[in-house]
Amino acid sequence: MAPLEGIRVLDFSTLLPGPLATLVLAEAGAEVIKIERPGRGDEMRSYTPKFGTDSVNFALLNRGKRSIAIDLKDKAAVEKLKPLIESCDIVVEQFRPGVMDRLGLGYEALSKINPRIIYCAITGYGQHGPRAEVAAHDLNYIADAGMLALAAGSDGAPIPPPALIADIGGGTYPAVINILLALRVRDRSGKGCKLDIAMGDNLFTFLYWAIGNGEAAGEWPTPAGDLVTGGSPRYNVYRTRDNKFVAAAPLEQKFWENFCALLALPADVQDDSRDVVATKRAIAEKIAAKTAAEWRALFQGKDVCCSVMASMQEALKDEHFIARGVFAARLGAGGKEMTALPVPVVPAFRANPESAGYPALGEGNGLLDGKA
């Protein structure tokens, strides 16, 4: 049995953090019913490029779910949804604080209908605090948390990261973790609860080292000046002769010694505590003398913690990830298939078949009338 088989989720969220959280729950066996506005549905349906009738983004994030189209501003909406509220286990929403309360769908109202409901509210800044009502996106959250300040480019200006760290790392994953914890508590108490998931709050977990260095030693991090921000020759990126890149991370001494030996690094720069700049320069010269293919062959079978940077296309064809079944699940729409979004649920706990589609807007409206 899938771990979440028999668990029903009402998903009022849109865009990324909430829909990805409920996708993880769906992959583990939960029945996820997506609540959308009539006519247009989730904002992400309209994005491009398309896969089937809707955007590929929407398709990837909503695989295996059902959809109900209902106007939540309609005074009769709560009554129409009441049977589903009575039977559901989890509610996920992503509105600004107070919006669901005004619609009659806040935690206090729903818990009176169903005291076992676990109500997960995902916002940027949380349900209370000076910024609770502020509109923002991922880039704003990482800027407020001090993370963006550590991502400087060659001109010293911060570079937006290539991943939506706050949305996924600060929103989706903490939401799933706390929902699962709440289910465990409910098993013992019989009661649900409200979860306040703030994307901005959860970014500080990623900065554990920066907080520690700053508060304990007074060494506040700087871009390109610290171990994991490019300040160390043992954790850096170097250009090859054919303008590709080697990601070198021989942090521990045993890996560093292997790395220095493989590169035939001059003895006077192997002690990187003496002159960091000189050691970086020496490594860069060595790496620049060979092509990426030559380095890939040299790294093979060596304990050096080094790899040649892959493109996205190359990563999707990587024999290691393929062998582990990372891309085994497929997403279908309009007679076509593509790779389903990999989620961090181990294969033994996944419930969805290898190929599944995403819901058409309102295809599950029969559920409002008690129809399966």
- Model confidence over 234-281: pLDDT tens digits? 999 999 999 999 999 999 999 999 999 999 999 999 999 999 999 999
Task: Please say whether the beta carbons of 150 and 142 come within 8 A.
Answer: no
What pLDDT band is residue 154 in, cutting at 50, 70 and 90? low
Same domain for 111 and 130, yes or no, is yes
Residue 220 inside a domain? The answer is no
Residue 2 inside a domain? The answer is no
pLDDT tens by residue, 92-115:
999 999 999 999 999 999 999 999
Same domain for 282 and 337, yes or no, is no
What pLDDT band is residue 190 in, cutting at 50, 70 and 90? very high
The residues assigned a catalytic role are 137, 167
Q: Which domain holds residue 250?
A: 227-316
Residue 136: C-alpha distances to residues 122, 123, 159, 199, 234 (Å): 13, 10, 18, 11, 36
**Mean pLDDT for the chain overall:** 95
Whole-number pLDDT of residue 370: 82
Whole-number pLDDT of residue 371: 76
In this predicted structure, which of 117-121, 219-223, 318-322 has the lowest mean pLDDT?
A: 219-223
Strands of the chain (E only): list them: 8-11, 31-36, 50-51, 54-55, 66-69, 90-93, 118-123, 193-198, 236-239, 245-248, 306-308, 330-333, 336-339, 355-356
Report the share of the chain in percent with pLDDT over 70.
Answer: 99
Residue 205 inside a domain? The answer is no
Whole-number pLDDT of residue 281: 97
pLDDT at residue 155 tops 80: no
Q: Model-level pTM? A: 0.95
Same domain for 100 and 135, yes or no, is yes
Residue 219 inside a domain? The answer is no
- Give the CATH number of the domain where residue 136 resides: 3.40.50.10540
Rounded mean pLDDT of 44-70?
Answer: 97
Same domain for 312 and 337, yes or no, is no
d(CA 303, CA 255): 6
